[in-house]
């Protein structure tokens, strides 16, 4: 439970600490853009965080993290293999990617919109 709270805090920090924050979108705009394949233009990778954990725990954490955002924001599973799973979520001011690697890493990145 403590790790989940830490990861959620890490996610909030990633979203809110984009110093070079650019354009923002409302959730409805993002859902329409993503569903039509007209994705918001992203800038360079902003913040990134990595945490060590086993594969099963990583998958559960990813599901928890993405699950808290999906009711509001659009998400797309980018990769789903035995070695890696990655989901992208478009939030108001950045695109976040949450990735699990079978070697024991959870990696979260964000990139502000231009």
- The residues near 67 (Cβ < 8 Å, ≥ 6 apart) are none
CA dist list (Å): 75 to 53, 96, 104? 23, 9, 23
d(CA 101, CA 106): 7
d(CA 1, CA 110): 24
pLDDT tens digits along 32-51: 999 999 999 999 998 899 99
Considering the chain, what is the average pLDDT of its residues? 87
Q: 2-112 has which fold?
A: Double Stranded RNA Binding Domain (3.30.160)
pLDDT of residue 18: 45
- pTM for the full model? 0.80
CB 66 within 8 A of CB 75: yes
pLDDT of residue 19: 47
Whether the per-residue pLDDT at 98 is higher than 90: the answer is: yes
pLDDT tens digits along 14-33: 544 444 558 999 999 999 99
d(CA 89, CA 42): 13
């Amino acid at each position: 439970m403590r790790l989940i709270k830490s990861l959620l805090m890490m996610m909030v920090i990633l979203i809110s600490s984009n110093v070079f924050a650019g354009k923002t979108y409302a959730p409805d705009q993002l859902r329409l853009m993503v569903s039509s394949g007209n994705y918001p233009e992203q800038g360079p990778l902003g913040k990134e965080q990595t945490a060590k954990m086993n594969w099963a725990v990583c998958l559960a954490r990813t599901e928890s993290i993405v699950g808290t955002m999906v009711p509001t924001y659009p998400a797309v599973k980018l990769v789903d293999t035995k070695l890696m799973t990655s989901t992208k979520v478009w939030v108001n001011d950045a695109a976040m990617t949450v990735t699990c690697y079978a070697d024991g890493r959870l990696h979260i990145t964000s990139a502000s919109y231009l």
